[in-house]
Structure 1
Amino acid sequence: MQIKLQSDDYHVLLNTLGAELNSYSSPTGKEYIWNSDPAYWLRSSPLLFPTIGNVRNGETVIKDHIYPMPKHGFCKESEFEVTEQTENSVTFLLKANEETQKHYPYDFELRLSYHLNGSTLSMDYTVTNKDTEPMYYHLGAHPGFMCPVNDGENLENCILKFEKEEDFVSYEYDLKNLEFNFDHKVSQKAEGNVLPLTIPMFDQDAVFFEHTNSHRVSFVNAVTGKGVSMYYPDFESLAIWTPIGGKASFLCLEPWNGSAIFHQDDDVFAHKHSILTLEPGKEKTYHLEISLIE
């Protein structure tokens, strides 16, 4: 079921399946979110929980038992409950259930609240541990933004502009073994706080910056400065992705707490790189904002 939000003639469409952002349009009708064309990528903005990326051979060890774990977790295939709704805000809730227990044997609650205020869409992700022991998890966002946003441009007309200077050193993804490796790093051709975008930089899949000095990044046309901005104060890492070959007209900006598996990781879920821990009865909220720059 789709949920509509509006504020100052800005419009957002959300889906109870996955609590996923499907559309974000300006008063002029310009669409900023990827259209989910299955020829390239069926999603538009999946919620990544309780894992980011893949686990080795699709299985992981939790509480001394082996569980199958889908890539990026199970939220994208989960129906969320709507617990609160107004004209410009909505809260989605997913509770542990028989299906989630097949993959993740924790008693949890996951809320995702959206609030639209004109050209800014705010999101709050709240994880609650209802279990009797510490809970381990990753959490991330994966919104895909249309590129070109504006007529006559392409990916290589655009840049990522960070609020602070970055070293732009990323981990190379091993497409054969589906893993990162601490020993394999790539220095992107950039300096200062600006990263030019090129098609070849995605030849090894996503570009993953494990730590960023910045917590705000803008995906904009290098000349006009128009596009989108993302503020991710509660996320440690940032990945960027478009399918190899550059034929798909979108770019994903992905704030992560966690990552896909590293070569050096074992198969125990609690040992995954950058794993988060939440004690019984506790909850943690993570904030994210997307703003349109017109």
Structure 2
Amino acid sequence: MQFELSYRGLRAAVDSHGGELVSLRDPAGTEYIWNGDPAFWPGRNPLLFPIVGNLKGGQVLFNGQPYEMSRHGFARGLDFSPVEQDANRVVLELRESPATLVRYPFPFSLRVCHALTEAGFSTAFRVENTGDAPMPFCIGAHTAFRCPLHSGERFEDYEIVFDQPETADMILLTPEGLVRHDGREPLLRDEDRFSLDRAVFDRLDTIILEGLRSTGVSLLHRETGHGVRLDFTGFPMVAFWTKSGCEAPFVCLEPWHGCAAADNEDGEFFHKPHCITLAPGEIRDLCYTITLM
């Protein structure tokens, strides 16, 4: 089921499958969200829950008991139920089911609210522990933006620009997609930007950063300044990804609260970096915002 949203010339579409915002058009009709062409990547804007990234051996431990879960968790492949809707916003909910409990043994409510704003959209997550035991989770977004946005432009004409100068190293991944415990690679040295380079994505797969001073980052055309800005306040990590080994015309901006398993971790979910643990009845709210530039 799809929901159409509109506000002051902006138009968006939200799909109940995966709870995704799958289209955003400005008043001129320019589409910003990647269309999911399977020739490159069939995703568009998947919601990552209750894990972000890969697990070690495809398994995680909850209080010592092993459970299997695929990359980025199960929410992106399930149908959400509508809770509220008006002209410019929709709230969808996912709850536990027999299918989720065999992978993630916790009752929960996951609500996602997509809302059009004056110049873009916001996506808010509300996670509630509806069970009677502590519940750990990680959560993130994987929003894919068309890049380039306009004909005559190149992928390499765009750059990633942070709100403040940063000194930051990239978190490195193993070939299995696990976080390497033994090394990082310099990216920024008192700088606020880096240019898109397919060779870097071909080599590293994903650019992953944490501990930044900035709470916002933009994907901008170097000459015109058009693009999008992501406000990821409240998320301790941000990542950038495009499909490697091809000329994929998109870039994902990804606010994360959690990441892939480390290659030397013990596998216990409660020990994961940036894992959130909710007491019974507790709620956690997180939100990211996209502004068209």
Q: If the length of structure 2 is used for normalisation, what is the TM-score?
A: 0.96
Taking only the aligned residue pairs, the percentage that are identical comes to 33
Q: Is 2:172 the partner of 1:186?
A: no
Deviation at residue 267 of structure 1 after TM alignment? 1.6
**Matched ranges for 1:46-57 at <5 A:** 46-57=46-57
> In 2, Cα distance between the equivalents of 1:85 and 1:283?
22
Separation in structure 1 between the aligned mates of residue 79 and residue 211 of structure 2, nearest angstrom: 32
Q: Deviations over 1:146-172 (max 9, x none)?
A: 011122222211111111111131011
- What secondary structure sits across from 1:99 in the alignment? helix
SS of aligned partner of 2:165 = coil
Partners of 2:181 and 2:192 lie apart in 1 by 24
In the TM superposition, residue 17 of structure 1 has moved relative to its aligned partner by 0.4
Q: Can you list the C-alpha shifts for 1:207-227, whole angstroms capped at 9, x where unaligned?
A: 100222111111000111100
SS of the residue corresponding to residue 167 of structure 2 reads: coil
| 8 Å Cα contact 1:126-1:284 kept in structure 2 | yes
Q: Could you give the per-residue CA deviations for residues 81-123 of structure 1, whole angstroms, max 9, x where no partner exists?
A: 1000001011000111111111100011000011112322011
**AA paired with 2:117?**
N
Alignment of 1:10 with 2:10, yes or no, is yes
Any idea what SS the aligned residue of 1:156 has? helix
Q: 1:66 offset after TM fit, Å?
A: 1.5
Structure 2 residue matching 1:100: 3-state secondary structure: helix
Q: After superposing the two structures, state which structure 1 stretch, 187-196 or 14-23, moved more.
A: 187-196
Kept in 1, the 8 Å contact 2:139–2:258? The answer is yes
Instruction: Name the CA distance, whole Å, in 2 between partners of 1:264 and 1:77.
Output: 29
Post-superposition CA distance 1:218-272 (Å, at most 9, x none): 1000111100111111111000001113510000010001101111211222222
RMSD of aligned alpha carbons: 1.3
Partner of 1:29: 29
Structure 2 gap ranges (5+): none
Q: What amino acid maps onto 2:41 in structure 1?
A: W
Alignment of 1:138-153 (within 5 A): 138-153=138-153
Aligned equivalents of 1:89 and 1:36: distance in 2?
A: 22
In the superposition, relative to structure 1, how do residues 190 and 199 fare at CA in structure 2: closer, same or farther (>3 Å)?
farther
Distance 2:15 2:93 in 1: 12
Q: Which runs of 4+ in 1 moved over 6 A?
A: none
Q: What TM-score, normalized by structure 1, do the two folds share?
A: 0.96
The aligned counterpart of 1:196 is 195
Q: In structure 1, the residue corresponding to 2:100 is in which secondary structure?
A: helix
Q: Where does residue 279 of structure 2 map in the other structure?
A: 279
Aligned residue pairs: how many? 292
Give the aligned partner of residue 213 of structure 1. Answer: 213
